[in-house]
Amino acid sequence: MKMKKWLALLLAGSMAAGCLAGCGNGGNSGNSAGASDNAVSSSKSETSGSSSSGGAQQSADKVNLTALISKHSLTKDVNEMEWLNLLEDKVGVTVEWQQISADWDQKKSPMFASGDIPDILVKATNTNDFVTYNGLFENLAPYLDAGQMPNVSRMFEDHPELRVFCTDEEGAIYGLPDYRSMWHAFNRVLYINKTWLDNMNLQVPTTMDELEEVMLAFRDGDPNGNGDTTDEIPLDFNGFPTYLLACFGIPLMNESGGYYVEDGQVKNFRVDERYKTFMIWLRKLYTEGLINEEVLTQDYSKFQSLARGEGTVAKVGVTLGSESGDRFGMELADQYIPLPALKPHADSDESEVYWGYYKDSQCITAATIAMSAKCENKEAAVKLIDGFYDEKTSVEVLFGGMNDVDGCTRDNGDGTYTVLPPADPSIDPGTWKWTNSFADNSPYYFADDMEDRLTMGEDMVRKDSERGPLEPTLKLMEEKCESYPAMFITYSSDDNSTLALNQTTIDNIINPAYAGWLTEPDRDIEAEWDAYVDSVYANGLTENLQIRQAAYEKYMEQLK
């Protein structure tokens, strides 16, 4: 059987001597939902230690530690998770948790620059942080070599490539990854309301042109049948609709910040002619009233609530989402079906139609957990970090606790586990998971055979089936496209600073242009294009592409 490209890169990396430090892009995953919550600090007890890294204190029978987690906006106060309380009891620590639900990237820099960080950081670092803030983080390699992290050691024994990618040129490991084999290559699916199609005697679209015709019918009719022809939103999305862009021929294999690789060259789709074509099409939809007018300003909660409609009355016709139950709620999920990657036109070349492929970043997240070099009780912190990677705890950290209080998962006692239905039947399984666990913002290890030993919840079963229409595109991309292993490539401190500064300037050009081109009908994208492209290149993109190209070539050379 042909090896997946992402896995081939990993395995090749495990044989390379002296690899770059490289597990990561986990810095802002806690805000993946686009939420606007403020930071929350909560302490477990009145005897908890101080929030600074140097404040670990010894209580009567437990060590006090501090920790920070960059978490999803849906995730409840982690102190209410019984599985976490039991883990801390088992390790012999009391943890004062600082919980960040939004804007961690903006909050991170001043905290790290001050040098005053918590003892443990969860989903709050990336590998470039270890270069930029040299000396701030503890080298975990000696603890591994001394046998003090048996669970992490087991992960590295099973997958030696993971240790290679987390080890810098000096042999240090500052951040540990997570790993799960049983996940999906596509993080988003394009859904259409099949009930609306049936109500209006419309066929399922097979091209972007047909999709536009269907959405025009949604706009002008009353597809949800409630007697109001003005309450339907033909198309809604959150953030930039990258997945739809791929249908116009850009091979987005693990793109990062618009960067991808084609014909061995690192490129950025924001200056690609195919992006221009896409923007002309997208603005046409907006001008025709087919896209939610608040698409640029709505927060994630509004985006989510619109798709969940009112009872059994749907409000959105076409949208991107991860899983139908999570996206639409249980009352509406059965109205929607997934679409394949659509060709722009009937005569478009099917071999140039792609989708967003993110297999490695779905199965591996780098630098998921790190430790402060100033932590006063390092042995206790190391023990807690390793505890997350225990097999049973890994199930709990991702899906919720195996106890009567949490009631999220079950240990079957024979080496198998079951994800239980939500205790509250009014909550869909996806929301239940994100509420009651660290979910995807977690340190964990799922061995490859867990795919056969873990019975997933109904949301994950649906995810599998709903990705069926995209399988031909997946196979095409694996055959034709080059991965851009951005999460495994690191840079020098100077290059990292240059990339960040340039990207800020670039973003200040491309983001207003995107918003203006989408919503302002008087803007002539074709007439503005050349000057826009020249400006982006001149204001940092040329230099960023040079730096990224050199790093990419160095990385690929190490895999030979």
For 531-555, write each residue's pLDDT tens digit: 999 999 999 999 999 999 999 999 8
> Among the listed ranges 34-43, 326-335, 444-453, 461-470, which one has the minimum average pLDDT value?
34-43
Dist. CA 240–CA 238, nearest whole Å: 7
- 175 in Cβ contact with 125 (< 8 Å): yes
Give the model's pLDDT for residue 300: 84
**559 against 229, higher pLDDT:** 229
pLDDT tens across 64-119, in order? 999 999 998 889 999 999 999 999 999 999 999 999 998 898 899 999 999 999 99
- Greatest C-alpha distance within the chain: 74
Give pLDDT, residue 428: 84
* Bridging pattern class, strands 417-419 and 175-180: unpaired
Instruction: From 180, 177, 187, select the one nearest 125 (Cα to Cα).
Output: 177
Given a cut of 80, whether residue 311 has pLDDT beyond it is yes
Burial 437-470 (b: 16+ CB within 10 A, else e): bbbbbbbbbbbeebeebbebbbbbebbeebbebb
- Average pLDDT of the segment spanning 22-35: 35
Give the span between the Cα atoms of 47 and 120, in whole angstroms: 18
Distance CA 24, CA 174 (A): 11
Give yes or no for residue 31 having a pLDDT over 50.
no
Confidence of residue 60 (pLDDT cuts 50, 70, 90): low
Task: Give the pLDDT of residue 46.
Answer: 31
What is the DSSP code (8-state) at residue 26? -
pLDDT higher than threshold 70 for residue 389? yes
Q: Which residue has the higher pLDDT, 410 or 357?
A: 410
What is the identity of the amino acid at 383?
K
What pLDDT, on the 0 to 100 scale, is given for residue 28?
A: 35
* Secondary structure, 3-state, 397-434: HHHCCCCCCCCCEEECCCCCEEECCCCCCCCCHHHHHH
Note the Cα 270 to chain centre separation in Å.
Answer: 21
**β-pairing, 336-339 with 63-70?**
unpaired
pLDDT at 12: 46
| pLDDT, mean of residues 113-133 | 92
What type of residue is 439? A
Q: Could you read off the pLDDT of 157-201 as tens digits, one per residue?
A: 999 888 987 888 789 999 999 998 777 667 789 999 999 999 999
pLDDT tens for each residue of 504-523: 899 999 999 999 999 999 99
Please state which CATH number belongs to domain 189-356+466-480: 3.40.190.10
* H-helix or E-strand spanning residue 476: helix 471-480
Q: Are 134 and 493 in contact (CB under 8 A)?
A: yes
Q: How would residue 360 be classed by pLDDT, with cut points 50, 70 and 90?
A: low
Given the DSSP bridges, would you call strands 93-100 and 454-455 parallel, antiparallel or unpaired? unpaired
Options 3.40.640.10, 3.40.190.10, 3.40.720.10, 3.40.50.720; CATH of 5-180+362-390+441-447 = 3.40.190.10
pTM for the model: 0.75
CA neighbor of 184 nearest in space, from 19, 46, 328, 6: 6
Between strands 409-411 and 120-122, the pairing is unpaired
Q: Is the pLDDT of residue 30 over 60?
A: no
pLDDT at 520: 95
User: pLDDT at residue 15 above 50?
Assistant: no
Answer whether residue 62 shows pLDDT above 70. Answer: yes
The whole-chain average pLDDT of the chain stands at: 87
CA 363/CA 4 separation, integer angstroms:
12
Strand partners for 41: 98
Q: Looking at the predicted structure, is the pLDDT value of residue 23 above 70?
A: no
In terms of DSSP bridges, do strands 364-371 and 409-411 run parallel, antiparallel, or are they unpaired? unpaired
Position 222 pLDDT exceeds 60:
yes
- Where does the pLDDT of residue 11 fall: very low under 50, low under 70, confident under 90, or very high at 90 and above? very low
